[in-house]
Structure 1
Amino acid sequence: MLCHTTLSTGHGSHSAGADNRDLSFDFAKGILIVLVIVGHLLQYVIYRNNDYWYSPYFKSIYMFHMPLFMAISGYLSSRALLRKSLIRSINERAIQLLLPTLFWCAFMETAKVAAFSPSNSITYADILKDFIGSYWFIWAAFASFLVIKVLLTICRRRSMWIIGMSAIAVAILPVTFSILPLIRYTFPFFCLGFLLFQSTEWRARVLPRNKSPLIFSLAALAFACFLVWGKETYAYNNLVLIRDTASAEQVLLMFAGSVAASAIAFETVLPLWKLSSSNRVARFVAVELGQSTLLLYLLQGTVFRLMDLVQFGELWDLSTRISMAGVLGVAIIVIAMTVRWIVRDLGWVSRVVAGTPPRSGPLKPQSVTN
């Protein structure tokens, strides 16, 4: 979701050529950001109550979309983590992620005051809650990048082992304040993506010979987890906290199901891209949506947070709610693409609004992808 530059280097420098870009990762990110929007539409429009926890559609999306997003982020961030200095890499990542997050939070708070609560004052605590809670995945990605970079700087030769151990340690850490459970849930997947980037020999020699049995086993595991997945299996509800045998089972089910479902989803997306890469729709998903996931995430997060303040649709029938969800989903994508087109050549405006530098030339796509 965060940064993606080249096919051969995964996460290269800004000067990396456009011809080296692996659009299959962009295609995967484009599909995932659409699923993020669909998941929120299920929650905020189609159900409008707690029934979404039991929806098979909601469950099938939430089993893998954020874990896979984080794993891709860890994979594509590897070059920056390995090659750039601690200060430089953290500074660049903070500018890329936190600056546009601050902009969209300011936009949201302005909209709240102007349109929804002009007579009510908004406290600093409210703003901080919105800034962190509404865009929790940005903070999870930034925190994961920061932790891995610090571990790489300190541990050096043993850093791969330490990173693997840190994924387990963070996952079982009994801290439930604010968005920390969600960070603890997604951090192991960032580590997994980063470690897979390092395991080139294993992926090239060992995995192909055992791929079919592995995929079959993972598919069976994902299906079994889907069948027993319930409300308490979500990180939002179990807080990734092990208190007793029952909670331990839910946390284990959550991680096992997410790993298996993420792997199957990615193995499904890759051949789909190979078959449809020349199709206009597929290329739109890859080039336009996949290279704008940060902007899309921030925009949809702002929209759905504002929807918490609006009461509507209680008396609508299901078909009306589905229709309205479709209209809203398309509107979010259209607005995001319009914003991207407007700001892409405006220097620091592009960085502040979309987290991307302006295009360096008419034939080159953005070198940093969100």
Structure 2
Amino acid sequence: MVKKKRNEVLDIAKGIAIILVVFGHCIQFGNGLEFLERGTFFDDWLFKIIYSFHMPLFMMVSGYFYFFTLTKNSFKELIVSRINKILVPIFVWGGLFTVVTIIGKGGESNVINVIISYVKYSILSLWFLWAVFWCSLIVLFVNRFFKDNIFVYILGFIVTFVITDSLNFSVYKFMYPFFVGGYLYSKNKEKIDKKILIVKVEHLLIGLFVLYILLIFNFERSSFIYTSGYTIIGINMINQIYINLFRLFIGLFGSVFILLLINFLIKKYGYRKVYLISKLGKESLGIYIISGYLILILSRFTPDLKLNYLINIVETFAILVLSYFFTILLSQFNVTNKFLFGGR
């Protein structure tokens, strides 16, 4: 694919991923308090499908784009860029959420509690951005000091099994191989594509779909990173390694299938038919952040509902529209665009 075409595929992929993010959250938070508090959503078949690959897909695309960022900037520029584009928005949104929370409690809160709440929200919220931040620093380090040595990346993957899961590190470690995979594919795209082209795309799609189906039927509550964690220290080591590898492969098969399918359909039917999805993809960062707050508001209006996918679709549509609108609006001003979205 030429560069323009490649970007279309990735914009659509991000659009699909952000739709699934919002839809998954609506299933979790928009079907009543009992459904949420009992964790019944973990047993929902559609929720399982969404969560088996939607964040790995996002992470692969992020890694893919990071290759171009890395090749165009110096080491110092990349560090500054990571701070401005990721950490600044994280801590600004953390501050805004802290202020809103204090106001919601009537404004009564001492300084110590405010600081603790701010640090807590900033560190534990927007975990995907934190994952991109840590993964991009690792890739930057390996690229600059080890020339992207594949064995160093593999060693990093092995090390993730013994690092603590505290402070959301479980999800960061889960995202690591997908970010690195997207980055390495972007770097070696021509070589990889030549090898892939010897197999018909249709055959690849069928093979990936079959593999994914075989795995999704074995996707259990323990397969979620949120329920079983990642580290192998202090638990059943063999079982945890199996769970980690299972998540890796189902996320990989699902993500690559979606990317190949998008490329295949665009070549066959054209780009304009999914133009709106690509628009969502281009604004996926803002939608990801703002929709998270709208979801919290949604849960307060749906305490007595029961599981209903039709209602979830309506909720998803409403939140996507509002999130997109506020993202576009806030992006129009330099100050809000810089501090809320990293100046993208």
> 1:308-361, CA deviations, whole angstroms, 9 ceiling, x for partnerless residues?
7x4x53433444x852x44543333233332233333422332223333xxxxx
Q: Paired residue for 2:213? A: 223
Q: Distance in 2 between matches of 1:162 and 1:93?
A: 25
Q: How does 1:1-370 map to 2 (within 5 A)?
A: 8=3, 22-46=7-31, 47-48=35-36, 49-116=38-105, 118-120=107-109, 122-156=113-147, 159-212=148-201, 213-242=203-232, 243-274=236-267, 275-279=269-273, 282-287=274-279, 289-305=280-296, 310=300, 313-319=302-308, 322-323=310-311, 325-356=312-343, 368=344
> 1:7-55, CA deviations, whole angstroms, 9 ceiling, x for partnerless residues?
63xxxxxxxxxx7882221111011111111111111112323111111
Q: What is the aligned residue count? A: 333
Distance 1:87 1:50, change over 3 A: same
Is the 8 Å Cα contact of residues 134 and 305 (structure 1) preserved in structure 2? no
Is the 8 Å Cα contact of residues 108 and 306 (structure 1) preserved in structure 2? no
Give structure 1 stretches of 5+ with no counterpart: 1-5, 9-18, 357-367
When normalised by structure 2's length, the TM-score is 0.87
Letter in 2 for 1:339: F
Is the 8 Å Cα contact of residues 18 and 288 (structure 2) preserved in structure 1? yes
Cα distance, 1:256 vs. partner? Answer: 1.5
Give structure 2 stretches of 5+ with no counterpart: none
SS of the equivalent of 1:64 reads: helix
Percent identity over the alignment?
21
Q: Give the stretch that moved more between structures: 182-191 or 232-241.
A: 232-241
Letter in 2 for 1:336: S
Cα distance, 1:140 vs. partner? Answer: 0.2
Q: Distance in 2 between matches of 1:183 and 1:115?
A: 31
Cα distance, 1:127 vs. partner? Answer: 2.1
Letter in 1 for 2:101: K
SS of the equivalent of 1:173 reads: coil
Distance 1:337 1:244, change over 3 A: closer
Letter in 2 for 1:331: A
Which one has a larger percent helix, Structure 1 or Structure 2?
A: 2
Distance 1:306 1:113, change over 3 A: farther
Cα distance, 1:125 vs. partner? Answer: 2.5
Is the 8 Å Cα contact of residues 75 and 193 (structure 1) preserved in structure 2? yes
Letter in 2 for 1:185: F
Q: Distance in 2 between matches of 1:127 and 1:349?
A: 19
Q: Distance in 2 between matches of 1:331 and 1:117?
A: 29
Q: Distance in 2 between matches of 1:128 and 1:306?
A: 22
Q: Distance in 2 between matches of 1:340 and 1:178?
A: 28
Distance 1:75 1:166, change over 3 A: farther
Q: Give the stretch that moved more between structures: 87-96 or 341-350.
A: 341-350
Distance 1:194 1:203, change over 3 A: same
Is the 8 Å Cα contact of residues 39 and 62 (structure 1) preserved in structure 2? yes
Distance 1:249 1:86, change over 3 A: same
Please, what is the CA RMSD of the aligned residues?
2.5
Higher relative contact order (CA 8 A, sep 6+): 2
Cα distance, 1:182 vs. partner? Answer: 0.4
Letter in 2 for 1:28: A
Runs of 4+ in 1 over 6 A off after TM superposition: none
SS of the equivalent of 1:97 reads: helix
